[in-house]
């Protein structure tokens, strides 16, 4: 098969898998036990989308490899590069996050002081009527 036909075949298969997985998620939602606007329905939709993205992504990567584009090596090198950048930026991120954690701890200490003062306040006794 030529490269164009192979690419079209893999992309069509990825699209079909995407549609079938999303349709199966909607089929689960259409059951009487699941309300369409409930949290369960949202979780089912999210799970179906994540599975569809994963399956379609695998098919696109396989198709790219079949036509001669080495995407797996590219993804591996990008992953290793991202890991190197993350390790190099670790100290910088710690230093950047320190002021916010210090201000949060200051706010927490102040809040605890205020709460202690509020718990020490006792209600005033009711005044007696002076006209007796």
Task: In whole angstroms, give the CA distance from residue 18 to residue 65.
Answer: 20
Which of left, alpha, beta for 2 (phi over 0: left; psi -120 to 50: alpha)? beta
pLDDT digits (tens, 9 = 90+) for 59-90: 998 999 888 888 878 878 888 888 888 888 87
Angle at 8 between CA 18 and CA 46, to 5 degrees: 15
Q: Could you state, in order of their start, the residue ranges of all structural domains in the chain? A: 3-89
Full-model pTM: 0.56
Q: Do 55 and 17 contact (CB within 8 A), yes or no?
A: yes
Task: In whole angstroms, give the CA distance from residue 30 to residue 41.
Answer: 9
Task: In whole angstroms, give the CA distance from residue 38 to residue 23.
Answer: 18
User: What confidence category does residue 130 fall into, taking pLDDT thresholds of 50, 70 and 90?
Assistant: low
């Amino acid at each position: 098969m030529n490269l164009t036909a192979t690419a079209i075949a893999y992309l069509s298969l990825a699209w079909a898998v995407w549609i079938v997985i999303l349709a199966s998620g909607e089929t689960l939602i259409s059951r009487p036990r699941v309300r369409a606007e409930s949290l369960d329905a949202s979780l089912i939709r999210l799970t179906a989308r994540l599975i569809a993205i994963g399956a379609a992504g695998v098919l696109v990567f396989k198709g790219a490899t079949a036509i001669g584009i080495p995407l797996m090596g590219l993804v591996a090198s990008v992953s290793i590069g991202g890991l190197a950048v993350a390790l190099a930026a670790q100290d910088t991120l710690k230093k950047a996050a320190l002021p916010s954690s210090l201000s949060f701890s200051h706010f927490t200490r102040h809040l605890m002081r205020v709460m202690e003062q509020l718990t020490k306040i006792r209600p005033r006794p009711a005044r007696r009527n002076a006209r007796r």
